[in-house]
């Protein structure tokens, strides 16, 4: 199949005016000027998209697809309150509810041009549903709230895959100890060791809130009781969150999510150790968690990705809306870097740079096509105009998922199921708000 547009933006190489991409057997076969490729591949089915830009399928490097049904239920509030209310809502949901919520999240991703996610999984549904929906990426099974010695039993209980059976180049699994205040130091180390042993991805929410910084500084603040209950063996290290993780020896190759609360001294440590930092500016704003020093991180040599986080703390899973929010607070990054963050740089952070994230021969045939007004600079054009409202088409693994702006798969089924889940979650939140005793269990534990 030959697909042409006004511009092809391969990301790994310079934009091509009147460009085209050739797809074969679920992979990218060739990228170049449309005229030349049309001659070389005469006779293959051709799709022309005048007025459009072709780019790689987007990489949303931090999602919680299972939390999609919480959209609109948790208004802006202090982080320490919000983090308690999410499990209160989720504990009201059964597996069907979680599956519907995840399916709607996956559909929302595709409908925004995203074909790759770095998802925090609470059980088996995320990877399975994502595979059906056409998403690929890393699925980080989350562990928290237990002593380190229980990690194997816990992973069994949340159906963490024992091996790579069922996993492919598109679909990968990893581990995420949630955060320093819900996972004790030995649990974080055990999760890191397991990820290294099995050559899997490792991600952690890090330096997200002032409350986390305060807890790690002197053990005080609104997360202290949560840490006492969930983070077995935690003692305040009197360090920044980044320095704490470095002290534990777990930063090497890690994906650090958020990093709003980092000091200048932390930046070289991150640059030296982590696979990358995933920024989630709209979630940070929703929970008043401050602003990550994105430009300083970028200039300091830290690979950067972009994530929407979940709809428990964001309005949409539209990654270009996230990029525009980041451009406002970090204009120095520029349009090209922002596009890289949501394509090849994001894919590399997830450890999947040789599978996704650019239009290059041999990579997965994951393509997003946006209707963009004529622009001399396609990166600027994308940053200003791309998003779910200008989405023309999406392919993943060479299959059309969106064509002429419309999904090729049913969305209404997931939408109805997710609405039911949303109602149950709303009732649980209402009950917990009025109840004197607060539920204490972590999600699915």
- Residues near Zn ion (CB under 5 A) are 309
Nearer to Zn ion, 29 or 309 (CB): 309
Nearer to Zn ion, 11 or 65 (CB): 65
* Least distance from Zn ion to the Cβ atom of residue 309, Å: 5
- CA dist 114 → 43, 138, 308, 391 (Å): 30, 13, 11, 11
Nearer to Zn ion, 309 or 318 (CB): 309
Q: Is 282 helix (H, G, I), strand (E, B) or coil?
A: helix
Count of CB atoms situated within 10 Å of the CB of 39: 8
- In the bound complex, which residue of the shown chain has the CB atom lying closest to Zn ion? 309
Judge contact between 86 and 442, C-beta under 8 A: no
Count of CB atoms situated within 10 Å of the CB of 268: 12
Judge contact between 349 and 275, C-beta under 8 A: yes
Q: Is 424 helix (H, G, I), strand (E, B) or coil?
A: helix
CA-based Rg of the chain, rounded to a whole angstrom?
21
* Least distance from Zn ion to the Cβ atom of residue 120, Å: 6
Specify the length of the chain in residues: 445
* Least distance from Zn ion to the Cβ atom of residue 280, Å: 7
* Least distance from Zn ion to the Cβ atom of residue 231, Å: 17
Nearer to Zn ion, 97 or 309 (CB): 309
- Residue 179's nearest CA partner among 227, 243, 229 is 227
* Least distance from Zn ion to the Cβ atom of residue 429, Å: 19
How far apart CA 172 and CA 116 sit, in angstroms, is 11
Nearer to Zn ion, 242 or 359 (CB): 242
* Least distance from Zn ion to the Cβ atom of residue 278, Å: 9
* Least distance from Zn ion to the Cβ atom of residue 418, Å: 19
* Least distance from Zn ion to the Cβ atom of residue 70, Å: 12
| Residues in contact with 76: Cβ distance below 8 Å, sequence separation at least 6, in sequence order | 286, 287, 288
CA geometry: angle 108, 325, 213, nearest 5 deg? 100
- 132 burial class (0-12, 13-18, 19+ CB within 10 angstroms)? exposed
Nearer to Zn ion, 6 or 309 (CB): 309
Nearer to Zn ion, 203 or 386 (CB): 203
CA geometry: angle 173, 178, 183, nearest 5 deg? 120
Nearer to Zn ion, 146 or 278 (CB): 278
Nearer to Zn ion, 10 or 346 (CB): 346
How far apart CA 432 and CA 430 sit, in angstroms, is 6
- The structure tokens listed for 240 are 């920044």
Q: How far apart are the first and last CA of the chain?
A: 47
* Least distance from Zn ion to the Cβ atom of residue 369, Å: 29
């Amino acid at each position: 199949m030959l697909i042409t547009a006004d511009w092809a933006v391969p990301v790994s190489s310079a934009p091509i005016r009147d460009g085209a991409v050739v797809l074969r057997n679920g992979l990218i076969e060739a990228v170049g000027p449309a005229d030349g490729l049309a001659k070389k591949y005469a006779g293959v089915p051709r799709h022309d998209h005048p007025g459009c830009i072709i780019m790689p399928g987007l990489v949303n490097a931090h999602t919680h697809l299972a939390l999609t049904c919480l959209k609109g239920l948790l208004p802006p509030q202090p982080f320490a309150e919000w983090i308690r209310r999410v499990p209160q809502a989720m504990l009201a949901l059964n597996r069907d509810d979680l599956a519907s919520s995840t399916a709607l999240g996956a559909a929302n991703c595709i409908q925004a041009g995203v074909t790759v996610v770095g998802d925090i999984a609470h059980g088996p549904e995320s990877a399975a549903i994502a595979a059906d929906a056409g998403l690929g990426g890393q699925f980080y099974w989350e562990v928290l709230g237990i002593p380190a010695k229980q990690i194997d039993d816990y992973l069994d209980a949340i159906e963490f895959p024992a091996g790579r059976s069922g996993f492919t180049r598109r679909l990968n699994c990893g581990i995420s100890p949630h955060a320093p205040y819900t996972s004790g130091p030995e649990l974080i180390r055990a999760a890191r060791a397991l990820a290294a042993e099995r050559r899997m991805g490792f991600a952690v929410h890090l330096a997200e809130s002032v409350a986390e910084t305060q807890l790690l500084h002197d053990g005080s603040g609104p997360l202290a009781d949560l840490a006492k209950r969930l983070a077995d063996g935690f003692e305040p290290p009197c360090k920044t969150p980044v320095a704490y993780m470095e002290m534990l020896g777990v930063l090497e190759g890690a994906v650090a999510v958020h990093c709003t609360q980092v000091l200048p001294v932390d930046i070289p440590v991150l640059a030296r150790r982590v696979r990358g930092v995933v920024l989630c500016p709209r979630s940070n704003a929703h929970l008043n968690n401050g602003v990550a020093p994105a430009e300083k991180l970028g200039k300091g040599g830290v690979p950067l990705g972009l994530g929407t986080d979940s709809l428990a703390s964001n309005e949409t899973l539209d990654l270009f809306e996230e990029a525009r929010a980041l451009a406002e607070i970090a204009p120095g990054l520029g349009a090209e870097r922002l596009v890289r963050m949501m394509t090849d740089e994001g894919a590399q952070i997830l450890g999947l740079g040789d599978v996704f994230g650019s239009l290059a021969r041999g990579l997965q045939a994951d393509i997003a096509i946006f209707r963009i007004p004529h622009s001399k600079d396609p990166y600027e054009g994308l940053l200003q105009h791309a998003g779910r409202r200008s989405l023309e088409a999406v392919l993943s693994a060479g299959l059309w998922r969106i064509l002429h702006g419309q999904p090729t798969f049913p969305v209404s089924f997931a939408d109805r199921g997710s609405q039911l889940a949303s109602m149950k979650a709303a009732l649980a939140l209402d009950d917990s708000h009025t109840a004197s005793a607060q539920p204490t269990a972590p999600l699915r534990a």
